Amino acid sequence: MTPLLKQAYDPEKFRQQGQALVNLFADYLKEVQSENTTTKVLNWNEPDVLVKKWQSDLATAPNPDISQFFTEVIDEMIHMHHPKYMGHQVSAVLPLAALGDFFGAFLDTGMGIFEQGTAGVAMEKILIQLLAKKMTIDVEKADGFLTNGGTLGNLTALLCARAKMIEREVWQHGFEGKKYAFLVSEEAHFSINRAIRVMGMGATGLIKVPSDKAYRMDTSQLKNIFQKAKNEGITVIGVVGNACSTSTGAHDDLNAIANFCDANNLWFHIDAAHGGGLLFSKKYRHLLTGINRADSVIIDFHKMLMMPTLVTGVVFKNGNDSYRTFAQKADYLWADSEGHEWYNLAKRTFELTKTSMAFRVFLTLRTYGEQLFEDNLNQLYDLAKTFSDMLQTHPDFETAVPVPDSNIVCFRVVKGGYSELELDELNAQIREKIMKEGEFFIVQTRLRGRLFLRTTFVNPITTKKIVKDLIKKITKLKI
């Protein structure tokens, strides 16, 4: 062992480094949580400026001062734990869950096969069973795994649908000139489109179903769209429902979609990346009514369930289906049930050396219980409704929907005498100004062509007063 290697694996050195980092994060949390914090949500820098800066930082290597590194990076990063962060949909990470992530990263055994993953693989199964129980489906029959994110989760579930629903084996023979499609809400996340394209189904592989005024799938159109596809020689193999959509947080009518799928023998996939966490909320669980009827569901723990990215639960109602995804028919036929080796997860996931995702979720549940998820969800969803009410009673604002389904609120400033284009421009400027000033962080989206400001409440320490201050801030901006 060279002296450098010896030093790099030195236990005492590691102890000091680790303790210093935890202390730093604890101080950081305390600072952003304090009422009079002077820390901005974001210290805006242009991308190229940061490249230059960090290039010269790296030139100082070897540089033993890790504290300086940590402090500077924290300062430059967007502060998700800041109560005025209300932008994208990922969590303000639960501190204990971050430790669970670190724990997994340190052991880093890989979760693809049981002999490597052991306890982590067992926990993964328990977590999937917990989701299945919450979905009120048969826990014995259901099965699944964790994947690195919803994008990969959606792809994996749709690949499974493809394997199950197309009679002749696509894995072996390709599409043989035939056209297949999924019916998908026009509000679906772009990862669904990406998955369908990656699967080689082409532009006709995704058939859009329009959404209604509340941005929910207009299920009354399913029948006609299905028939039209048929007339054009396209075989529809499944429908994808949103729980909820990304832009506005709209929950589709899952029972209506399930009825349609049942009647036409179609695969029903639910993209519950964002809203699936509501399984843990007695108050808002009703938004997921019908989830028990899906063939496959994905739920991002890193969206509403406080986990660090990425950790996504993929649940199949009929666990046997999941063995088809990456296998030729013969493989899974003779390997039915016991032969499936549920514990060698890489047979059913895209990832082979998979990260240790289960620890952070399991540790959280073991330490705080499910109640923590429920408390967090209810608080964030309640706050969105309060904020939306405030906007609606204010003459300068309008909201995209009368009552938000979720913790996402889309709104815009409206002014008499402005054209729609001018309003778009005005709202875009507001968003840019807010982001660059750095006191608050919000995002924007386009809804039916119009530009809306968008907030997602992800931080349980964000208060009513803070959202009121945001409204005040926007109305006082000089544009």
Ligand X SMILES: *Cc1c(COP(=O)(O)O)cnc(C)c1O
Q: Which residues bind ligand X (CB under 6 A)?
A: 89, 149-151, 154, 189, 191, 246, 271, 273-274, 300, 310, 312
Judged by beta carbon, residue 252 or residue 424, the one nearer ligand X is 252
Select from 267, 224, 234, 274 the least CA-distant residue to 252.
Answer: 274
Judged by beta carbon, residue 297 or residue 413, the one nearer ligand X is 297
Residue/partner pairs of 417-424 with CB below 8 Å, 24 or more apart? 420/450, 423/450, 423/451, 424/450, 424/451
Phi-psi category of 40—alpha, beta or left, where left has phi over 0 and alpha has psi -120 to 50? beta
- What is the rounded CA–CA span in Å between residue 302 and residue 312? 7
Judged by beta carbon, residue 302 or residue 317, the one nearer ligand X is 302
Closest approach of Cβ 146 to ligand X, in Å?
A: 11
CA 202 distance to own-chain centroid: 25
**168 is written with which tokens?**
């002749």
Judged by beta carbon, residue 40 or residue 189, the one nearer ligand X is 189
Judged by beta carbon, residue 89 or residue 427, the one nearer ligand X is 89
Closest approach of Cβ 250 to ligand X, in Å?
A: 10
Given a contact cutoff of 8 angstroms between Cβ atoms, the answer to whether 420 and 446 are in contact is no
Closest approach of Cβ 297 to ligand X, in Å?
A: 12
Closest approach of Cβ 268 to ligand X, in Å?
A: 16
Judged by beta carbon, residue 120 or residue 275, the one nearer ligand X is 275
| Beta-carbon contacts of residue 363 (< 8 Å; ≥ 6 apart) | 96, 97, 99, 100, 103
Closest approach of Cβ 406 to ligand X, in Å?
A: 10
Judged by beta carbon, residue 191 or residue 281, the one nearer ligand X is 191
Give me Rg for the CA atoms of the chain. 24
Q: How distant, in Å, are the alpha carbons of 50, 108, 194, 412, 467 from that of 247?
A: 29, 35, 17, 14, 19
Closest approach of Cβ 22 to ligand X, in Å?
A: 27
Q: How distant, in Å, are the alpha carbons of 16, 234, 247, 310, 395 from that of 238?
A: 54, 12, 23, 26, 44
Closest approach of Cβ 231 to ligand X, in Å?
A: 30
Residue of this chain nearest to ligand X (CB atom): 150
Other C-beta atoms lying within 10 Å of the C-beta of residue 45 = 12
Judged by beta carbon, residue 92 or residue 273, the one nearer ligand X is 273
- What is the rounded CA–CA span in Å between residue 153 and residue 298? 6
**331 is written with which tokens?**
């493989």
Can you give 5-19 as a three-state secondary structure string?
HHHHCCHHHHHHHHH
